[in-house]
Structure 1
Amino acid sequence: MGRRSDHSRAELEALIVAEGHRHMAQVGFARFSSREVAKRIGYAVGTLYNVFGSYDRLIAAINTHTFTLWAQHLEALLASLPDDRIAALVEGYFSFAFENKNIWMAIYDHRLPPDIPQPDSYAEQRASLTAIVVREVAAILPEDAKAGAPRLARSLVATVHGHCTFALNGTFALLGETEPLEMAIARVKESLAAAGARL
């Protein structure tokens, strides 16, 4: 535990988030241990709380890193120039969740207490994910409907999230639904078509 002076505060923050993210990916939120993260990086657990202020802020930092990786995942898919960019977005939502189940679920398993505000920098990083959807939705809406792209995008994200969650937790399987991804794409395209999108 004697590495307290080995890193600057910024370096230590990055080290903690990186190792915390690895640990979260391995065990999930319910079994996450800040003591284990501290042990892995060779610092006392108190150092983690000195850097982030609390356990909740530490988890928020780790989950925000997940949002960043998720946005990068979607941008990489779109950079391959798929013929159907809307379907690619939905597929990217599903594939990231299925390939990273523990870190994806941790985003929704943890809530900051009401008296602990989320840092602005975290909110900005998290917003980058929705911004991708807004951009792609706005690009196919008629000119007079583009102003409504952010609101429509949020609704579409909620639709896809519900389908993805049901697919991951086994609810769709219990209902006998075998193609949740295809169903999510269909619902999204129906909503876009109703808004006048060029599909």
Structure 2
Amino acid sequence: MGRRSDHSREELEELILAEGHRLMAEVGYPRFSAREVAKRVGYSVGTLYNLFDSNHRLILAINSRTFLMWAAAMAERLAEDPEDRIAVLVDGYFRFASENSNLWMAIYEHRTPEGSDLPERYRKQRGELTGMVEAEIAKVLPEEARNKAAALARSLVATVHGHCVFALTGTFALLGEDRPQEAALARVREALAAAGGR
């Protein structure tokens, strides 16, 4: 089972993280197993916990990798310099969630144990995406309202997230809403207009 001499600590961490990310994409959070990751990479589950301390820390690392993947996809779309960047943000949210549903849901299904903090490196990785959203929102606000961009971004992400969850779980279909992405974008535009945005 053990291949301890085959990889450096950094290589082994990357191997486990890459395989864990693949497994999460395949089976989703409820069926995710550190033991299965260990089996796939050919190491003991104890080796995983020596590197990541716990299942919680392994999932944090996997979810943070998903945030980096999501931020890269969003940055690529924004780099095309679209005219309606807010619409691109909303579309990017829905698109990433629908194309990577298991990875996306794992971010929200995993709960951090009480008293446990998010390590700084993961906070920074996750901050790339939120920073991108804040920057785009700040651009459409009048100068005197730009100090509210961070708080407004959090609220708007929550709005889009709720619409996206309802869309992916079929709840909106039951409610008779057949254009949830358009509805989310409309709510975002209303909130930005109320804040003086253009």
| Shorter-normalised TM range | over 0.9
Residue number in structure 2 paired with 1:66: 66
Post-superposition offset of 1:101: 0.4
> Which string of whole-angstrom CA distances, capped at 9 and with x for unpartnered residues, describes residues 99-145 of structure 1?
00001000111111013322111111111111011000111111101
TM alignment of 1:29-108, pairs within 5 A = 29-108=29-108
The code of the aligned residue for 1:7 comes to H
What is the deviation of 1:83?
1.4
What amino acid is aligned across from residue 149 of structure 1 in structure 2?
A: A
Q: Structure 1, residues 17-48: CA drift from partner, whole Å, max 9, x if none?
A: 11000000000011111111111111111110
Identity of aligned residues (%): 65
Tell me which residue corresponds to 2:5: 5
The residue matched to 1:30 in structure 2 has which SS? helix
Alpha-carbon distance in structure 1 between the residues aligned to 2:129 and 2:140: 18
SS in 1 for 2:63: helix
Q: What is the CA–CA distance in structure 2 between the aligned matches of 1:154 and 1:137, rounded to whole Å?
A: 11
In the aligned structure 1, how far is the partner of 2:108 from the partner of 2:143? 35
**Contact 1:3/1:43 (8 A) holds in 2:** yes
Q: Tell me the C-alpha RMSD between the 2 structures.
A: 0.8
Give the whole-Å Cα distance in 1 for the aligned partners of 2:116 and 2:50: 16
Match of 1:161 in 2: 161
Contact 1:57–1:112 under 8 Å retained in 2: no
AA of the residue aligned to 1:57: R
Q: Which moved more, 1:112-121 or 1:90-99?
A: 112-121
3-state SS of paired residue (1:193): helix
Q: Counterparts of 1:93 and 1:84 in 2: how far apart (Å)?
A: 15
Q: Deviations for 1:38-85, whole angstroms, at most 9, x for unmatched residues?
A: 111111111100000001111111011111111111111111111110
In the other structure, the counterpart of 2:178 is: 178
Q: Secondary structure at the match of 2:35?
A: helix
Deviation of 1:14 after TM superposition, in Å, equals 1.2
TM-score relative to the length of structure 2 = 0.98
Q: Is this contact kept in 2: 1:16–1:41, CA < 8 A?
A: yes
Residue 196 of structure 2 is matched in structure 1 by 196
Answer yes or no: is the 8 Å Cα contact 1:138–1:146 preserved in 2: yes
Determine if contact 1:90/1:181 at 8 Å carries over to the other structure. yes
Aligned to 1:14: 14
Where does the alignment leave 5 or more consecutive residues of structure 2 unmatched?
none
Aligned residues: 198
- Output the CA distance in 1 between the equivalents of 2:155 and 2:123: 19
Aligned to 2:96, what secondary structure does the other structure show? helix
Give the SS at the match of 1:103. helix
Letter in 2 for 1:182: E
